[in-house]
Amino acid sequence: MDNPDYGTLPYLYLTTTGWKSGRPHEIEIWFVEHEGNFYLVAEKGERSHWVQNIQRNAAVRIRVADRHEDGRGRTVDPAAEPDLARAIRHKMDVKYQWSNGLIVELVSDQHTAS
């Protein structure tokens, strides 16, 4: 279930591992929560460095409000998951009036374990 507190927060902090450097890279990015997972939209699609990092190493660190968790990221294929893509775009449009780009799902390791 979505946490209503997250709906008012503008940013999530995502740490990926650089696929060339092997070093952690943190970005501040818009997000929405849906069914316990976090979703981001990459304006530059697969050209975004953070997306390239996730494609090569799905392990991520998620920080939002006082929640700090390890997790995994993946891109969402709108053709294979049209209902999910539509729901995420709608939530992004409501929250930010913008949803153009590649959708990336972040699943907490804690969420996976439950």
Asked if the structure places residue 65 within a domain, the reply is yes
Q: Considering the entire predicted model, what is its pTM?
A: 0.91
Residue 13's identity, in one-letter code, is: Y
Angle at 110 between CA 74 and CA 60, to 5 degrees: 40
Alpha-carbon span 43 to 59, nearest angstrom:
21
Q: pLDDT tens digits, the chain, 114 residues: what are they?
A: 455 577 789 999 999 999 999 999 999 999 999 999 999 999 999 999 999 999 999 999 999 988 899 999 999 999 999 999 999 999 999 999 999 999 999 999 986 544
First CA to last CA distance, the chain = 13
In a domain, 110, yes or no: no
pLDDT for 112 equals 54
State how many domains the chain has: 1
Work out whether the CA dihedral 26, 13, 103, 36 comes out positive or negative: positive
Q: Is residue 109, in this structure, part of any structural domain at all?
A: no
**Residue 113 resides in a domain:** no
Using CB atoms within 10 Å of the CB of residue 72, give its burial: 0 to 12 exposed, 13 to 18 middle, 19+ buried.
middle
CATH number of the domain bearing residue 57:
2.30.110.10
Question: Is residue 14 in a domain?
Answer: yes
Rounded-to-10 torsion of CA 74, 17, 71, 50: -40
Give the domain range for residue 11. 4-104
pLDDT at site 41: 98
Residue 94 in domain = yes
What pLDDT does 1 receive?
40
Residue 98 maps to a domain: yes
